[in-house]
Structure 1
Amino acid sequence: MKNAIMLLVLALFATSVHSQSLTQKDLTGTWLVTNVENSSSNLKMATAMKNAIINLYADNSFEIKEKQDDGTYSYKTTTNKNATWSYNPSTQTISTTRSKMTLKVSQSGGKTYFADADSGLKFEVTKPI
């Protein structure tokens, strides 16, 4: 009986760990930054990233566009035009060229986060498109 309970607990733990892993296909697309956590660690970048979009294209090109006052999205201070991205599923990290940004991908409570270790910012993101 004790072994059966341990096996059940192990199976549940393995399932929960596996369900939090994202694939490159899951990450490909447009992500909207809906919230920036730890904004005091880098106020300029936090302001720029509020309501920005992060495009992770299938051809591995990468860009971040900021939302402008008129509601459009364009490059301003967060310029990553012509950059590329790659994904490491074992570490759950997205690496980019040009800006050398590394984003740690995580999920918690049904939400997805991209955390940038260099700036100390954590972006809550949704995939509207």
Structure 2
Amino acid sequence: MKNFLIVLFLASLSSSVFGQSLTEKNIHGKWKVVKLIVKSTKPELAPLFKGFENATFTFNPNGNFELTTTSQSELFGMITEMTNGTKWKLEKAKQCLLIGNETNHYSIMGIFVKETNGKILFNLDETGIIMEMKKME
């Protein structure tokens, strides 16, 4: 019974280590969207989701943020324009990445980061979009 409890405890730790120890260093680099987990069924938002399906999020060590996509969506282009020249910072207590700058109080985009079943998920605060991510660098 004791061994079973130890194994159960270790398994619970391994599934949430990233979530408990999320640091700036964990985030540095390029993150590619593997797939959208949750998206809206509204047809008018399809170009937006296509943009996110083909997106790369870059979190530079100097705090600069970049969002790119291979999609030609005009709607997604507005999002990349809004994030152009922005910074990112980690709000550790909420496990959330905030995108923006000091002037707008990092309010352009909020990304909750979570590890579930060994997969890293980015949940876009305002839209409810949840993406499975893969770190490229």
TM-score of the superposed pair, with normalisation by structure 2? 0.73
| Comparing 40-49 and 54-63, the one that deviates more | 40-49
CA distance in 1, matches of 2:18, 2:115: 6
RMSD, matched Cα: 2.7
Identity %: 24
Question: What secondary structure sits across from 2:32 in the alignment?
Answer: strand
In terms of fraction of residues, the more helix-rich structure is 2
**Hey, what does 2:32 align to over in structure 1?**
32
**Hey, what does 1:20 align to over in structure 2?**
18
How many pairs are equivalent?
122
Shift of 1:86: 0.3
CA distance in 2, matches of 1:10, 1:44: 43
- For the 8 Å contact 1:48–1:78, the answer to whether it is kept is no
Question: What secondary structure sits across from 2:25 in the alignment?
Answer: helix
CA displacement 1:72-106 (0-9 Å, x = unmatched):
xxx83331110010002221100011761100000
Question: What secondary structure sits across from 1:49 in the alignment?
Answer: helix
CA distance in 2, matches of 1:126, 1:18: 17
**Hey, what does 1:76 align to over in structure 2?**
77
- For the 8 Å contact 2:15–2:115, the answer to whether it is kept is no
**Hey, what does 2:130 align to over in structure 1?**
122
Question: What secondary structure sits across from 1:77 in the alignment?
Answer: helix
CA distance in 1, matches of 2:17, 2:54: 27
CA distance in 2, matches of 1:124, 1:20: 14
- For the 8 Å contact 1:66–1:78, the answer to whether it is kept is no
CA displacement 1:36-75 (0-9 Å, x = unmatched):
1222265342121112100011010111001147xxxxx8
- For the 8 Å contact 1:62–1:82, the answer to whether it is kept is yes
Q: Does 1:105 align with 2:105?
A: no
Partner amino acid for 1:15? L
TM-score of the superposed pair, with normalisation by structure 1? 0.77
Runs of 5+ in structure 2 lacking a partner? Answer: none
- For the 8 Å contact 1:31–1:125, the answer to whether it is kept is yes
